[in-house]
């Protein structure tokens, strides 16, 4: 109840999949590449670019291990889903990805994208199931674990959210959005100001100037908890 009151009082807005705090977001039109231990790396497409400290505010996807190759017909389905997302037709993409996860349950990127669609639509239980399935692949990328952390946080599973964010950071210490989201979780939901401060400072070190986060740091250093609950938006 105290959390709800504080969020209402300070106007915290839950970020959607396409809204960010000025840092990298997850564009659903691009694949979340996830490695599968059964796949042959030689047959997989090239991985997307890495989100570095210099590019953490750009709308690009994080580099990830290669995904398993699909039969041509299934690959066409996946590309169809991507085109639907790019065209702003998530319902159509959801239908295609749902079919693909059933016909090829080992293809983690389909689970990852379907989970992201579910989360954006407020279907949190379904989102967690799909994102957890994607995360079972070998070496899940930081971007995926960050998305899973957001789904956990929105589901009220704060301990799992923290673990997911920390896993993302362990996978890619330079992935700035995970540091920011961990800071928000520690700040608002877990009431750990010292740890939140460290996470915010690490985010700034990676992402560069960010006026909002700099303000949050000042508020935490001055030990003014009510003001430190000002609107935070999670990063993708």
SS (H, E, C) the chain: CHHHHHHHHCCCCCCCCCCCCCCCCCCCCCCCCCCCCCCCHHHCCCCCCCCCCCCCCCCCCCCCCCCCCCCHHHHHHHHHHHHHHHCCCHHHHHHHHHHHHHHCCCCHHHHHHHHHHHHHCCCHHHHHHHHHHHHCCCCCCHHHHHHHHHHHHHCCCHHHHHHHHHHHHHHCCCCHHHHHHHHHHHHHHCCCHHHHHHHHHHHHHHHCCCHHHHHHHHHHHCCCHHHHCCCCCCCC
Using N-to-C axis directions, what is the helix angle for 124-135 and 142-154, rounded to 10°? 150
- Number of residues assigned to the chain: 236
pLDDT tens, N- to C-terminus, the chain (236 residues): 444 343 433 333 233 332 333 333 343 434 454 543 333 333 333 333 223 233 333 332 333 334 667 899 999 999 999 999 999 999 999 999 999 999 999 999 999 999 999 999 999 999 999 999 999 988 899 999 999 999 999 999 999 999 999 999 999 999 999 999 999 999 999 999 999 999 999 999 999 999 999 999 999 998 655 544 555 667 77
The pTM of this model reads 0.70
Compute the CA torsion angle 15, 16, 18, 20 (nearest 10 deg): 10
Residue 66: how many other CB atoms lie within 10 Å: 18
The pLDDT of residue 229: 56
The pLDDT of residue 41: 33
Q: Work out the widest C-alpha separation in the chain, in whole angstroms.
A: 58
Q: What would the two tokens of residue 190 be?
A: 């877990």
List CB contacts of 191: < 8 A, sequence separation 6 or more: none
The pLDDT of residue 47: 32
Q: Which residue has the tokens 């950071």?
A: 169
Q: State the number of CA atoms in the 13 A half-sphere of 88 facing the CB.
A: 0
- Cα–Cα distance, 206 to 235 (Å, whole number): 13
First-to-last alpha carbon distance for the chain, in angstroms, is 27
The pLDDT of residue 231: 56
The pLDDT of residue 15: 34
């Amino acid at each position: 109840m105290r959390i709800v009151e504080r969020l209402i009082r300070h106007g915290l807005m839950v970020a959607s999949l396409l809204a960010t705090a000025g840092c990298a977001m997850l564009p659903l039109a691009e694949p979340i590449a996830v490695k599968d231990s059964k796949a042959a790396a030689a047959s997989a497409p090239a991985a997307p670019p890495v989100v570095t400290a210099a590019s953490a505010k750009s709308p690009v996807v994080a580099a990830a291990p290669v995904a398993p190759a699909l039969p041509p017909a299934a690959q066409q389905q996946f590309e169809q889903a991507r085109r639907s997302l790019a065209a702003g037709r998530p319902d159509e993409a959801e239908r295609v990805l749902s079919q693909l996860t059933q016909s090829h349950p080992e293809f983690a990127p389909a689970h990852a994208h379907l989970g992201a669609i579910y989360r954006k639509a407020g279907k949190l239980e379904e989102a967690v199931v799909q994102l957890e399935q994607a995360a079972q692949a070998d070496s899940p990328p930081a971007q995926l674990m960050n998305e899973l952390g957001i789904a956990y946080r929105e589901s009220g599973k704060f301990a799992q959210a923290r673990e997911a964010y920390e896993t993302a950071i362990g996978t890619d210490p330079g992935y700035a959005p995970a540091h920011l989201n961990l800071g928000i979780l520690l700040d608002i939901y877990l009431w750990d100001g010292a740890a939140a401060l460290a996470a915010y400072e690490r985010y700034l070190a990676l992402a560069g100037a960010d006026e909002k986060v700099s303000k949050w740091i000042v508020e935490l250093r001055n030990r003014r908890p009510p003001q430190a609950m000002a609107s935070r938006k999670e990063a993708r």
